Amino acid sequence: MVMRYDKSVTEQISARISQLSDDEIRQIGNCLVCGGVVSTIGVWMPRGNIAKLFDEPRGKFRGLVYGVCDKCSRKKDTINQVEEIIFKQAGITKRMRAETHRRS
């Protein structure tokens, strides 16, 4: 699910990403989806009830900086794949997400 954020948050994130050094970019590692060479950097930020699963404090934003290769960055379903990988690595199951949505 792709969500939009207010302009100031988006601008702050974009500004910070543009300031990443080569060393910081190398630390991102390989493409999160296929393991290829990173060409695009993204930020995944949980919002709403999903943010609660990551213990996001009220008024704060948490995000995960990740990289994808050129091939994956052009695929329509890459954002969904990235989100599923993040949930899997965090140990958050589809059932947990469904229960969180039902509580809202």
- The pTM is what? 0.72
The residues, any chain, with a CB within 8 Å of residue 91's CB and separated by 6 or more, are none
SS3 (DSSP) at 8:
helix
- Domain spans of the chain, in order of start: 7-103
Select the more confidently predicted residue: 19 or 71. 71
Residue 43: what are its φ and ψ, rounded to 5°?
A: -130, 125
Taking 80 as the threshold, does the pLDDT of residue 77 lie above it? yes
Taking 70 as the threshold, does the pLDDT of residue 7 lie above it? no
Residue 72: what are its φ and ψ, rounded to 5°?
A: -70, -30
What is the arithmetic mean of pLDDT over 12-29? 78
Q: What is the pLDDT of residues 78-99, one digit of tens each?
A: 999 999 999 999 888 888 888 8
pLDDT at position 88 is: 92
Taking 70 as the threshold, does the pLDDT of residue 54 lie above it? yes
What is the arithmetic mean of pLDDT over 15-44? 85
pLDDT at position 35 is: 95
